[in-house]
Chains A and B, each alone.
Chain A
Amino acid sequence: MSRDDRKFIGALALTAALAGALIFSMQARERELETPASALDLSRIELELRAGRLSLHPAAFWEPMDESHPSGPASSGVSYDQRLIRGQLSRGALSAHEAAHWLPMEGVRP
């Protein structure tokens, strides 16, 4: 192997390593944005709840996730959304085109 070949292979290896590091850092940033959940200290939360410093109020706009229903079964959150959207649609605050984003079961597509 000539000196030039060794230089070429070295440059190739360095480029590959830099590209790998760049891709890794980009993926890490994506993961940071996409999986932001973090574990709770539940005993601390429950202590604060008992002391009245936190509330335990039902949240709106969520759905349970279930393996047998990948997109989530109908939940209070989902049905609530749809009532709201239908109301906005009937008042003319949303067009049928916009409402179709939230009413996929109606057979209407944007």
Chain B
Amino acid sequence: MSGWVKCKLCPRECQLPPGHRGDCRVRINYEGRLISLVYGKPVSANARDPVEKKPVYHFLPGTRCVSIATVGCNLHCKFCQNHTISQVNPEDLEPFDLPPEQVVAAARRHQCPSIAYTYSEPIVFFEYTRDTQALAHQQGIKNILVTAGYINEAPLIELCRHADAANLDLKAFSNDYYRELCAGTLEPVLKALELMVRLGVWVEVTNLIVPTLNDDMEMISRMCDWIAEKLGPEVPLHFSRFSPMYQLTQLPPTPADTLVRARETALSRGLKHVYVGNILVPGGGDTICPDCGKIVIARRGYAITAMKLEDGACGSCGRKIAGVWK
């Protein structure tokens, strides 16, 4: 086994002989050492992304963030909406040269209060994310992880040291779904969710509903029960519309009715903040006060059209609304 290395970043724990790359495509065994090929080399960088696009709805609403992503991912979802960067090798795309200092400088220059590590999978560009996050915090800028949460516990703890918010993509509440559609497993994702909440990261969950594959309301009920019990009923849940993409072009987009039913199901299971995204459904993006039922934040798409939040509480009845508001 001379010269082999074992990557311990994610549950795959790839065992690599010299001159091989891991499943994520971006970590390689180079002369007996594990090396990241993408540190400071994003292929996507957006200076003024609305945080609502991540989506995070209870975290600095109405603000913009710098978004960065390198190539690579440690999951291989057949419906990936960013497969042109997540499922390619780093040597196949031309990256920007953007070290952590420049990412943070861009956030300051564009007056963005946060940086999002997003689009592909920040776990696989772990070192770049970690160092940029630490530097951002030194300069008073917050960090948002947009991730599938397929990571081992020790590196997740390290990432959470400087993470303020996360949107975690819970693909389905089924191990079979993870295996068949994503080449992963469910349990590490659930553990990651619990750990992030316990470590004080503001967490929102996204569930992409794919017609015929994970639109069973009984499974959605079980997922909501788990979220309510393990993460808490105040954790926002975003049901997101699937669009035919990548290796699932034979399926139709998710019907609006399915998303609305999923939302009703989640509310009936006790979740307090449930949203519908990637589609314009009346009220689907509004933050509603769970006590008085009034709209606290009204949204249309990524835009906020009305805000009745006062010191983190409902402007009508004063009920505290969970989130990070400033």
On A, residues with C-beta under 8 Å from B are 29, 32-33, 35-42, 44-45, 48, 52-67, 72, 77, 81, 84-85, 88, 93-94, 98, 101-102
- Nearest CB in chain B to that of A39: its residue: B20
- Distance between A41 CB and nearest chain B CB, rounded to angstroms: 8
- A-side contacts of B17, CB under 8 Å: 37
**Alpha-carbon separation in the docked complex, A33 to B130 (Å):** 27
Bound Cα distance from A23 to B19, whole angstroms: 32
CB distance from A68 to the nearest CB of B (A): 9
Q: Across the interface, do B36 and A59 meet the contact criterion of CB distance under 8 Å?
A: yes
Is the Cβ of A93 less than 8 Å from the Cβ of B199? yes
Assess the A81–B20 pair: CB atoms within 8 A.
no
Given A37-B21, A62-B6, A93-B199, check contact A56 B153 (CB 8 Å): no
How long is the Cα–Cα vector from A29 to B179 in the complex, in angstroms? 9
A85 B157 Cβ-Cβ under 8 A: yes
Contact A37 B22 (CB under 8 A): yes
**In contact, A59 and B153 (Cβ under 8 angstroms):** no
Answer whether residue B97 sits at the interface, using C-beta atoms and an 8 A cutoff.
Answer: yes
- B residues near A40, Cβ cutoff 8 Å: 19-21, 28
Q: Which residues of B contact A (CB under 8 A)?
A: 1-9, 12, 14-17, 19-23, 27-28, 30, 32-41, 90-91, 94-95, 97, 126-128, 130, 152-155, 157-158, 179, 183, 198-199
Query: Are A64 and B95 closer than 8 Å at their CB atoms?
Result: no
Known contacts A45-B91, A54-B41, A54-B90: A38-B21 contact under CB 8 Å? yes
**Which residues of B lie under 8 Å from residue A32 when comparing CB positions?**
183
Question: Chain A residues near B126 (CB, 8 Å)?
Answer: 59-61
A45 to B22, Cβ gap below 8 A?
A: no
Among residues of A, the one whose C-beta sits closest to the C-beta of B7 is A62
A102 touches B22 (CB 8 A): no
Interface contact A85-B154, CB-CB below 8 Å? yes
A94 to chain B, nearest CB (A): 7
With a cutoff of 8 Å between Cβ atoms, the chain A residues found around residue B90 in the complex are 48, 54
Contacts of B7 in A (CB 8 A): 59, 61-62
Bound Cα distance from A55 to B71, whole angstroms: 13
Please tell me if the beta carbons of A36 and B32 are within 8 angstroms of each other in the complex: no
A40 to B38, CA, bound (A): 15
Name 26 A/B residue pairs within 8 A (Cβ), A-sorted: A33-B179, A37-B15, A38-B20, A40-B28, A45-B30, A45-B37, A48-B91, A54-B38, A55-B37, A56-B30, A57-B39, A57-B40, A58-B36, A58-B127, A59-B33, A59-B34, A60-B158, A61-B8, A61-B9, A61-B155, A62-B8, A63-B8, A64-B4, A65-B6, A67-B1, A93-B157
Contact A54 B91 (CB under 8 A): yes
The closest CB in chain B to the CB of A67 belongs to B1
Question: In the docked arrangement, what's the CA distance between A21 and B154, Å?
Answer: 39
Query: Which residues from A are CB-within-8-Å of B4?
Result: 64-65
A54 to chain B, nearest CB (A): 5
Q: Let me know if B154 and A45 touch, CB within 8 A.
A: no
Instruction: Please judge, given known A-B contacts A40-B19, A42-B19, A59-B34, whether A33 and B95 are in contact too, CB under 8 Å.
Output: no
